[in-house]
Every structure is written in structure tokens, then in C-alpha cells.
Amino acid sequence: DQQVKQNSPSLSVQEGRISILNCDYTNSMFDYFLWYKKYPAEGPTFLISISSIKDKNEDGRFTVFLNKSAKHLSLHIVPSQPGDSAVYFCAASGTGTASKLTFGTGTRLQVTL
Amino acid sequence: NAGVTQTPKFQVLKTGQSMTLQCAQDMNHNSMYWYRQDPGMGLRLIYYSASEGTTDKGEVPNGYNVSRLNKREFSLRLESAAPSQTSVYFCASSEALRTGLAGGWTKNIQYFGAGTRLSVL
């Protein structure tokens, strides 16, 4: 039972345009969400997070939006750059689950010139 | 500041062999984790250690054992490797247990090592 779902395995965007990566979750106990970025042969690196008490969090070119009623979050990258080409994982944690994260299956973003 | 260091980076085993994956962090984090990543499966938690002296099973613990040697080190052992354990293994650490919304929660980010690529033939 996949509690965190990233339904798009891949996404291709032109340099300078907006990249939108989506994530859905089913567990209503999740209240903290994170995005990680992963390059080949490297470990995931933290990108941005949001708690359920907010609906938006922004950090430079990266913005995460949370829609609790729809159990949906999205990561917006504006403008997209070739160095953003990587696999992006959505992750979630909930109260009472210690620090355990549940990850989605990832979306591979390719930013083309 | 090295962060989270995993050794070895690559390993090939024969079915039935045993090995230990090592992980060390220098961020003075309390919690440490072991994940495996398989194609199309994302990262799945094998075991975690909320604090020194404690370990708990994650989503896919079968065939693995762990040891939290001290605050810095958390090892993963495969006693009798099987081809189904061919995967990329990641170790991670985080500062502390989160407290939850009721008590105010900590932004508990996990930091990952570079991974160990294991093939079991």
C-alpha cells in the first residue's frame, strides 16, 4: 500500500520554464512533508519542507504547496535550470512515527536547453 | 565536515555470504536510519535507531540486523545474502525525534550518505 505516491515517473521541461512535480498521500496522520533531490551515484539531499500548518513554503527558486483537503503537494521550480535535472522524491512523516519518513517512488526531471 | 559516511561504496557477494555495511555521522545526531532503494520502489526503511542504545524495525527488516555501536555509528548486517538483497543501501541521520504538532514539532530533516551498491550473485 503506497502511502505516498508520485504518479509521474518522469518530466521534461525547457530551461527557464516552470517545473511542477506532484505528490499525493493517503495517510491523514502525515503532517510534515519534504522534498529531496537525488543525482546519480549520490545520496538524496534535502531540498525544502512544509508542515501541515502552512499551505506554502518558498526558498529561492523552489516553492512547495500543500493542499491538505486534497492530500496533495507540489514542488514548483522557477526558473528551471539544467542543474535541476535529477530525481525528486517526496517524503512524509506523521505524529507518533518518530522521525520515520515514507518516500514516494520519485520523479525524474530533465531540464533541456 | 563529512556528514554521513558509508563504507564500502560497492560490494559484490555470493549467495549465502555475510557482510556488514558501515555508517558513521559526525553531526552529533541522535537518530540514524538504513534504507534500500530499488527501481520503481523509492526508498524503503529497513531499520532505524531513534537514539543510542535503541533500534527498531522499519518497513522491510527481514534478512537484516543492525547495531547502534555508539552515537556516531550504525551498522547493517546481512547474515546470509540473497539475490533479492541486491540494491542500493543508504544510511541517514537526523537530529532528534520529532515531538509532534501538539507539543510543537522539530523540523527533523534526514541527511543521507552516498550509498552502498550491493550485488548478490
The string of pLDDT tens digits covering residues A16-27 is 999 999 999 999
* Closest C-alpha among A49, A47, A25, A23 to residue A107: A23
Cβ atoms of A64 and A51 within 8 Å: the answer is no
Quick: pLDDT tens for B43-80.
999 999 988 889 999 999 999 999 998 999 999 999 99
CB contact under 8 A, A99 and B107: no
Residue showing cell 525544502: A48
Half-sphere exposure of residue A45: CA atoms within 13 angstroms, side-chain side: 10
pLDDT, position B3: 94
Model confidence at A85: pLDDT above 70: yes
pLDDT, position B39: 85
Quick: pLDDT tens for A91-101.
998 865 556 88
Q: What is the mean pLDDT of residues A7-35?
A: 95
pLDDT, position A96: 55
Using DSSP's 3-state secondary structure scheme, residue B18 falls into coil
Q: What rounded mean pLDDT belongs to chain A?
A: 93
CA distance A37 to chain B (A): 11
- Residues of chain B positioned with their CB less than 8 A from the CB of A106: 42
Q: Model confidence at A72, in pLDDT bands (50, 70, 90)?
A: very high
CB contact under 8 A, A99 and B101: no
pLDDT, position A1: 74
Cβ atoms of A107 and A11 within 8 Å: the answer is yes
With pLDDT > 70 as the criterion, what percentage of chain A qualifies? 96
Q: Is A93 on the interface with B (CB under 8 A)?
A: yes
CA distance B18 to chain A (A): 24
CA–CA dist B85, B64 (Å, integer): 9
* Closest C-alpha among A27, A15, A103, A96 to residue B50: A96
What does R_g of chain B's alpha carbons equal in angstroms?
Answer: 14
